[in-house]
Structure 1
C-alpha cells in the first residue's frame, strides 16, 4: 500500500501518512518495556509525510504525533489491538502461512449467499467462532458467506458501517490472522467469503483523520451519522481502491459488496467504480474469481451489462431491493386472506423476470441480481427488529422462501433466517457518552410517524441501541436449532438449497441477456418461464393468496419442487392451493 506502515525487505519499516493540514508529524513508537521513541517524519510534496526506520519492528505499537501534541492512530492501520482510540500495530502480513493456494474461487452462477454479522452470529462474537460454524453452513447448502463490515469501529459492538479504520479488522472480533484463518478454512470447505466494505464513510467517533486532513472528507457533515470521504479527491479515491485490493489480496477474500451510496453522489464518482473494477480484474481477479457486487440502485445497470461474453462484466450483480419489497408486501397482506395482490405481484414478476421493476434493465442476465427476503437492514430498520416469521404465517412465508431460493437469481439469506431464529436483529452501537444520549433519542424519534409509536410512552419500548443488552439480544441461540419449529424451517431450507445446487446452478452458465416474460394469474398468481444456459426451461407457478387459484394450463416439464399434494392439484386439476409454489423443469434430450 502507498500509505500506512509497511515492513520492507530487510526488516525496516516505512511509515507514510497524508496530513496536509499538519506542520509537523512524528512517529510515536512504543517499544518493549513501555518507553516511547519519537521519530520525525520527512515532509514530502502534496501533504505527504514519510519515514523509513530500522528502529521499528514487527508488532511494535505506534501513533502519529501531529504538530507536537495530539497522537492519533494510523488511518491505514492493519490492526489496532486496543481499539480505535489506541495505538496501531506494525503487522507483517507475509508471516501468515496460507495453505489455500490452489483455491480459485467459485463461478458466480454457483453463489448462494449467507449474510452474517460476526459479533452476533455466535455467543463469542469472533472470527474464530464463525470458523467453528462453517460445517453447519456447508450442510445448510450455501456456497458463500458475506460478512457485514469488519473494519475497526468505536466501542465493542456496531453494525460495522460506522468504521473509522477501514484497513484494520475490529479487535473485538480477533486478530487479522484469525480472519485469515476463517477465510482459508472456508475455502477448504468449498465456501467463498465476501465482505461488505464501507470505507467511503467514517463514523461519528474515532475519526481522527478529519483533524489533520479535513479536505479528505466532503464538506457536508452528517452529524451523528459521521462523514463521507470526498471521492472526487485523487488521494481519497486511491485510498478507496487500495482498501478494496487490500481485502482481496491480503485476506484472500472472494468478493466485495459496495454501498449503493457510491452511485448517488457526483457523476465523477461513477468512474471510480470502473477504475476499481479494472484494478481488481488486473490484480487478484486475473488469477481467481473475485466477485464485485453493488447495493440496490437502478443506475447500477451500466456496470452489470455483459456486451461480449468473452469479456467479464465489471460487476457481477446488484442486490435487488425491489423483489424483497414486493414479497414483503405480499406477506404483509397475507393475514387478510383473499386480497388484491396485483400491484406487488406485478412488481415481483418484473423483478424476477427482468431485474428491476420499471424500464432500463431488460437486457441483463438474471444472475446479475441478488434476490433476498431478509437482510440486516430490512430487519434492523424495524423498531423492534422483528424477523419475517414473527410478522406472518408459516405457509405464506414458505411460499416466498421457495420463490426466492429457486429463481435463477443468486439468493441470499440473513443469519438465522433459515431456522426462524427467535432473536431480533436490532440497531446497536457502543459510542462514547456524549453521543449515546442523542443517538437513543433520535432512534426513537425516527419512528414517531408510525402507528403504535406516536407517544413518548410507546416509543420508550423501542430498544435503546446504546444499551449492551440490545446487542446481546441479537446473538443467535444455536441451542434452538434442533427444536421445533426451528428444526422444521432448517430442513425446509436445506431441501430447497439441495434442489438449487443439483438442478439449477449447473444450468445457469450460458444464459443470455434476453427479456423474460411473466404473467399474472387472476391478480393472485404468477407464472414465469426462463430459458437456462443449457436450453432447459424453468417454470414458476405460484399462488400468493389465501384462496385456491383455478384455470391453470399445465406447462411442460417435470416437477422440480412442490410441497406434498400441491403438484397434483396444479398439474391434474389445474388448481393451485392457497400459498403454494410449484417449480417445473423441462429438459430436451
Structure 2
C-alpha cells in the first residue's frame, strides 16, 4: 500500500482559517448526517464518495457541536479534538496553531539518552500537576516522562486504556493548551515526553462507531475487548495514522508507545504508520516509536520502531526477586537465571522458543542493539494487575531490590521506572475506573474473577476484599505521596537513583551508540555476569547476585569498579566471590587484559 494519505479528508473538525472549519465524518451506514451546534443551528453535511460526509462552517475555535445521524442519533465526533466534559458531551473545535510555543526550537534528544519515568496523569493532579514535578525529575536524572493514555474516557478516573475518543485529551486532566504547556515546560527542562496510545480497541462506554460505521470493525476477528478494528480499510488506517501525527506534530510529543500491538489484526499497518511518521518528521528532530508486543517480533525493530517494552526481562527478574511463579510468571519458573542471562545478552528471552503451552513465541533478537529493549522492574501493568497493587518494596528483600535497580539503571538497555519508585513509595497502584450501573458491576465482578486461578484467592471471601475498581477510594489509595517527597529527598532510595543516573549520564550516554553484548555468564543461582563492548572499545560489566548467598565470580580489578549496590565502603572479600544481594558496575579500559577477552 502506498505511503500517502489514504483518504481525501482528515477525520474530524479541521481549522481551515480564522473563521472556517471543515467537518468530516466517515459514516458509510448513515443515510444523512448533520452538524448540530450547541446554539441550535443545524448544518447539513454533503454525502461524498466512500461513505464520507463533509461540511464547512464559519465557526471559530471553541465552538461546541455534535453529529446527528439520520435525524435520530446525536453523537460526539469520533475524532473530537476536545470535549466539553465527558465522552457523552459535545465536541469542541480546537485551533492547534494558536498555542505560543516557548521552546519552539526543541528537537528532542537521541534515543540512547532515554531514562523513562512512567506516570498516571490523573494521580499526579492533571497536566498542571505533572508539570510541577518536572524540576525534581530532571534534577534526579530522568530524561523522559511517559504519560499513560490520556484519550477521553468515561468518567474522571481510569487507567486510560478504556478511551473512546482518541484525539481528545481527557477533560478531567486539563485543556489541550494545558497539555501543550506541560510538554513545553518539559522541553524547557530538557525532558522528552512520550505518550502511550491505544490503537487496538475502543472502550465499552461512549463508542458509537458501530451504529453508523460498522466497517470500522472486523466481525470475523476478535480481541479480548471485542471485534477487532479493521485496519484493511483506508479510512480506518487514516483515522489512527492521523491521530499519531496529531500527537507528534500538533502537541509536539517526542514519542509514542503503542499499546498491545499483538492485538492489531493487520500484517503491515504498523510499518505503514511508522513510514508515514518518519516521512513527516523534519531532519534533525528526534521522534521515538516504542511497542508493547507479546509476539516479540524483532523485525519490527528494524522497520521504523526504536524499541519494545521487554516483558521477558521484567518477568525473569520478578521471579528471581519474589519467587512468584503463577499465571504468566509460570513461563519463567524454570531456568530463570539462564533466561535472565539470555535477556541481558540477546534482548528477548523467547526468540522462537516454545512456551509451556506448546506455542513458539518470538523471533531472534541477538543482532539488535541493547537500546532496542526497554527494561523495567515495575510499570503500570506489573503493579496494577496484582490483586492489591503491591509494589516490589513490599514483595522482596530491600538489598535484592537495590541490586536489581542497579542493573536496571546501569544496563545499556533503556531503563523505565514507575512513578514513586525513586523514593521507594509504598502506596499501591490499583486498577480503577469510574463506570456506573451494570457496566460497573460487570467490571467489579470481572476483576475479582481474574484471580480465581491463583492459589491465594481460592477463598471467595478473600476475592471480595479485592478493591472495587469503581470506588473513589481505590483511586485515592493509588496516589503516591508526591507532596511528602521532601522528606525522602536524601533518603536511601533517592540517593541510589541519583547516584546511578549521574553515573549513567557521565559514563554511558556518550558510549552507548554502537555498543554490543560480549555475552553473559551464569555465576550461580540468581547470579550473572554481563559484559558489553562500548563505543570507545571499553567494556561495561555488571556482576549481579539477587540471591542471599555469595557465589564464585571473576570480578574486575577494584580500580575499575564504579558502583556497588550495597553502598559506599562496602567491602569485597576477594575478587573471586560476589556477595549476596549485590550488583557491581565496572568500566574496564580498552587496553586492559580483561577488555581484550571476548
Q: For residues 384 and 473 of structure 1, what CA distance do their matches in structure 2 show?
A: 10
Matching residue of 2:462: 458
**Structure 1 residue 473 corresponds to structure 2 residue 465:** no
- Equivalent of 2:24 in 10, 16, 21: 16
**Structure 1 residue 487 corresponds to structure 2 residue 491:** yes
- Equivalent of 2:65 in 44, 59, 62: 62
Q: Is the 8 A contact 1:224 1:435 kept in 2?
A: no
Residues 520/258 of structure 1: CA separation in 2 closer, same or farther (3 Å cut) = same
Secondary structure of the 1:370 match is: strand
Secondary structure of the 1:517 match is: strand
Matching residue of 1:309: none
Q: Is the 8 A contact 1:341 1:524 kept in 2?
A: no
Q: Is the 8 A contact 1:342 1:523 kept in 2?
A: no
Q: For residues 342 and 529 of structure 1, what CA distance do their matches in structure 2 show?
A: 24
Point out the more displaced range, 125-134 or 450-459: 450-459
Q: How many Å apart are 1:287 and its aligned residue?
A: 4.2
| Residue-by-residue CA offset, 1:402-430 (whole Å, 9 max, x unaligned) | 11110100100011111111211111111
Residues 417/466 of structure 1: CA separation in 2 closer, same or farther (3 Å cut) = same
Superposition map of 1:81-480 within 5 A? 81-120=84-123, 122=124, 125-219=125-219, 225=225, 228-260=228-260, 262-266=261-265, 269-284=266-281, 286-305=283-302, 314-333=304-323, 343-359=335-351, 360-480=364-484
**Structure 1 residue runs without a partner (length 5+):** 306-312, 335-339
| Residue-by-residue CA offset, 1:461-489 (whole Å, 9 max, x unaligned) | 10000111111111111243344699321
Q: How many Å apart are 1:555 and its aligned residue?
A: 5.8
Secondary structure of the 1:161 match is: coil
Q: Is the 8 A contact 1:73 1:86 kept in 2?
A: yes
Q: When the two structures are aligned, how many residues end up with a matched partner?
A: 563
Please give the TM-score of this superposition, normalised by the length of structure 2.
0.90
Q: For residues 257 and 376 of structure 1, what CA distance do their matches in structure 2 show?
A: 13
Secondary structure of the 2:275 match is: helix
**Structure 1 residue 523 corresponds to structure 2 residue 531:** no
Residues 62/325 of structure 1: CA separation in 2 closer, same or farther (3 Å cut) = same
**Structure 2 residue runs without a partner (length 5+):** 1-8, 325-331, 352-363, 592-598
Please give the TM-score of this superposition, normalised by the length of structure 1.
0.91
Q: Is the 8 A contact 1:114 1:145 kept in 2?
A: yes
Q: For residues 551 and 43 of structure 1, what CA distance do their matches in structure 2 show?
A: 74
Q: For residues 372 and 3 of structure 1, what CA distance do their matches in structure 2 show?
A: 36
Q: For residues 251 and 12 of structure 1, what CA distance do their matches in structure 2 show?
A: 21
Q: For residues 485 and 160 of structure 2, what CA distance do their matches in structure 1 show?
A: 26
Q: Is the 8 A contact 2:158 2:432 kept in 1?
A: yes
Q: For residues 520 and 567 of structure 1, what CA distance do their matches in structure 2 show?
A: 23
Residues 228/203 of structure 1: CA separation in 2 closer, same or farther (3 Å cut) = farther
Q: For residues 559 and 364 of structure 1, what CA distance do their matches in structure 2 show?
A: 27
Q: For residues 474 and 349 of structure 1, what CA distance do their matches in structure 2 show?
A: 34
